[in-house]
Amino acid sequence: MPAPTRRPIVAGNWKMNGNKPLVDLMQNQLEQADLAHLDVVICPPFPYLGLFKSGVTLGAQNMSSFESGAHTGEISGLMLTEFACRYVIVGHSERRADNNESNDEVALKVAAALKIKLTPILCIGESDSVRESGKLFDFIAAQLDAVIKQIGITQFSKIVLAYEPIWAIGTGKTASPAQAQEVHQFIREHLAKQDKHVAANIQILYGGSVKGSNAKELFSQQDVDGGLIGGASLDPDDFLSICLAAKQ
């Protein structure tokens, strides 16, 4: 049986950055480029979602696990769909750290997103201390298992995964292509214990100081299906070079 062909995805996570001029620059850059070989997703801060014109696939950086109610400062998934969002980042390491989001809370957000047909970009990854302790794979497995317990393995066919080594986010450090592949392969093998078809076809992105200069080598790894891009997504030229590096 031939190996599955997974369509590459490059998602730009602007975090708490950006402005109106950057929206226009990114819109123009993406409109002029030939990016038929992959899916490109832009995840700006909430206020800028409504400024993009049609033709740009949008994702949000977070959502509540609640549909509505007295949750000041939160955003529901239904609100995101009104701004044509198709994706939502869930469980980013900065949310887990800054807002104490547990594996179980992240799993509830994944379930809430799927309920309204938003595609979760589920982030998983370890800190330096976890990697050095030798518990890397147990840590990753626990993050995955909490979501499997909540939604079941078959629902993973509707999810995008993003492996983000926390020690490589915003530090200038990058996991070597071999390190990235090792963890991506483990993720796929862990899911395959429950459903080989889901595991073979799920898109797993790498996130951690990806730049135009290193994207091609990272994306050439067998189990790396694109990237969740932080800082470089704020530079339209660098972001475009990353997108072009995903060409199969």
Active site residues: 92, 164
Structure tokens given for 239: 């972001």
Distance CA 244, CA 238 (A): 10
What single DSSP character describes residue 154? G
What is the number of other CB atoms lying within 10 angstroms of the CB of residue 177? Answer: 17
Angle, CA of 116, 40 and 15, to the nearest 5°: 75
Residues in the chain: 248
d(CA 59, CA 201): 21
DSSP run (H or E) holding 144: helix 136-151
Read off the tokens for 228. Answer: 């969740």
Beta bridge partners of 120: 88
Residues near 135 by beta carbon (within 8 Å), at least 6 away in sequence: none
Cβ atoms of 206 and 178 closer than 8 Å: no
Residue 83's closest CA among 56, 115, 114, 121?
Answer: 56
Element (H, E) at 39: strand 39-43
User: What's the DSSP call for residue 2?
Assistant: P
CA-derived radius of gyration, the chain: 17
